[in-house]
Amino acid sequence: MPSSACSSSALSMPSLPGAEFLSLKANVVSNVTGHVPVGAYLNHGDATLAGVNYCNITVSYTHPGQGDRLTVQAWLPIDTWNGRLQAIGGGGWQAGLNYAASLSMRGAVGEGYATLTTDGGLGTSQSPADWGLLSPGNVNLYDLQNLASTSLNDMSIIGKSLVEEFYGRPPRYAYFNGCSQGGRQGLMLAQRYPAAFDGIAAAAPAINWTKFFMTGADSVPPPCEFNAIRAAAIRACDMNDGVPDGIISGRCDFDPHCVVGRVINCTDFGQLRRISAQAADIMEGTWRGPTKIDGSPIWYGLGKDVLVTGSMTDVAIVPIECQRNGSCTAGNFTLADDWIKYFVLKDADADTSALSHQEFDDVAHMSHQQYDSIIGTSDPDLSAFRRLGGKMITYHGTSDSLIPVDGSIEYYKKVLALDPDASDFYRLFLSPGLRHCFGGAGAYPHSTFESLRRWTEEDTVPETLAAASVGSERTIHRNLCAFPRVPVYDGQGDWTSAEAFHCA
């Protein structure tokens, strides 16, 4: 494709029912060279770019009557196109079109994919504080709908239109690639827009967006106490699988109260300190998950080897800030706090930490009532996606501190209950010790997308996903097993090697 075809005057506006296009800009980006590290190119390994030339196309449009403005950006390889399209999802409160998405797009265009992403009409905003409320008490439902679903199908239609306009033919295969919010987007596409993509990589998906954690107290123990309890749990359960890898695999019955009173070196203050009963209570509640006032569960808890604390600026389940005098306070889980304030209570000034247990139960119920039909992504009926030949892979780390892995397990079981043969087109892989999308002691499945491509195009069924830890003290290699099977140590050989394990 000659670079002269990459200009605003040479390209026609895409076609999208129900939309009015506002602008189209195109320019050539030449001789791009660089490296995308592992973990930055979601569901892939690392990627190296050498002299890549592509057409950067940015289109803006609106849904007339809704007062929105959405932007889709596409990068189309000029002389290295592999005939495929790879759309990139978002994270947190962003639909895409951010720095993280640009790294995955760099990797994709470097491998010859036409690639694109959308801002979902939210621009560069990272918080619903910028858009969630039209006025006090009035939620911006159109923007929420765009984030939840509408912009995703729009992106698919626009991307395919741009590809056919630029290359003179449609993509042979179209893929969606995402983790976290992007994982939720992938499931939404399979559930609601089954014709949008042929293959979907939906990692660590925020399936039940309307379920959440909430923590907050006037005074809490310092992070060192929580970290000490976590370390004790790992020591107690690490060898349950016969491997001293610092990872809890499978069932762990450790009771945090058994270490109450133990003296630890608290690095938060540079002094010795005893583990408190309060720290044990909070950890027990975090592992159990949020419950109603009658004790019935609202949602799943976290694994016992999960890092649950962080600073007030971290996205942590228990963000903690400590003073030099030794006092510490806990904030709220940022994503849940924003959801409750702007969408459930519809009050930007609401103090969610002041909610009583009964009020919290009421908030959880209202969240389901009002928003499951908009952003809930737990519909197990994937029959249309299957009928159209779609393939989908989800992986989830068992040490995910933001999205409980049990949510993905529950969803997959519901899919199987509705369609016992669902593994013919949709597979779930669990990675013990892996954190949210990437990182931690567990193995990151860098082969996810390539396995999806081969399954979609060559009907090569992925029984395992090749994975390796990144940044850990000792690199481990694993072949993650298709659920419900798990990697089991053979009892001999190098436990850092995938060859020392089998699926059972």
pLDDT of 307 strictly over 90: no
* Structure letter (DSSP) for residue 273: E
pLDDT of 215 strictly over 60: no
Per the CB < 8 A criterion, the answer to whether 368 and 378 are in contact is no
What mean pLDDT is predicted for residues 88-96?
96
Can you tell me whether residue 154 is helix, strand or coil? helix
Task: Return the pLDDT at 436.
Answer: 93
CA distances from 138 to 210, 305, 338 (A): 18, 40, 15
Per the CB < 8 A criterion, the answer to whether 481 and 429 are in contact is yes
- Backbone φ/ψ region at 502: left (φ over 0), alpha (ψ -120 to 50), beta: beta
**Measured distance CA(19)–CA(15) in Å, rounded:** 8
**For the chain, which residues make up each domain, given as ranges?**
3-211+376-503, 223-331
Q: How many residues does the chain have?
A: 504
Determine the residue type at 49.
Answer: L
Q: In which band, very low, low, confident or very high, does the pLDDT at 497 lie, cut at 50, 70 and 90? A: very high
Catalytic residues: 180, 400, 436
Record the pTM.
Answer: 0.95
What mean pLDDT is predicted for residues 482-494?
94
Strand partners, 232: none
Residue-wise pLDDT tens digits, 321-366:
888 877 888 877 788 889 999 999 999 999 888 888 899 899 989 9
Average pLDDT over all residues of the chain? 93
pLDDT of 76 strictly over 90: yes
Task: Return the pLDDT at 218.
Answer: 61
pLDDT of 212 strictly over 90: no
Residue-wise pLDDT tens digits, 95-151:
999 999 999 999 999 999 999 999 999 999 999 999 999 999 999 999 999 999 999
Q: In which band, very low, low, confident or very high, does the pLDDT at 380 lie, cut at 50, 70 and 90? A: very high
Task: Return the pLDDT at 181.
Answer: 96
Q: In which band, very low, low, confident or very high, does the pLDDT at 477 lie, cut at 50, 70 and 90? A: very high
Q: Find the range with the poorest average confidence among 23-27, 127-131, 303-307.
A: 303-307
Q: In which band, very low, low, confident or very high, does the pLDDT at 217 lie, cut at 50, 70 and 90? A: low
**Measured distance CA(133)–CA(125) in Å, rounded:** 14
Fold classification of 3-211+376-503 is: Rossmann fold (3.40.50)
What mean pLDDT is predicted for residues 400-423?
96
Q: What percent of the chain has pLDDT over 90?
A: 79
Residue-wise pLDDT tens digits, 243-289:
999 999 988 999 999 999 999 999 878 789 999 999 999 999 989 98
Q: Residue 303: name the closest of 408, 373, 388, 378 by CA.
A: 408
Name the token pair of 91. Answer: 């994270």
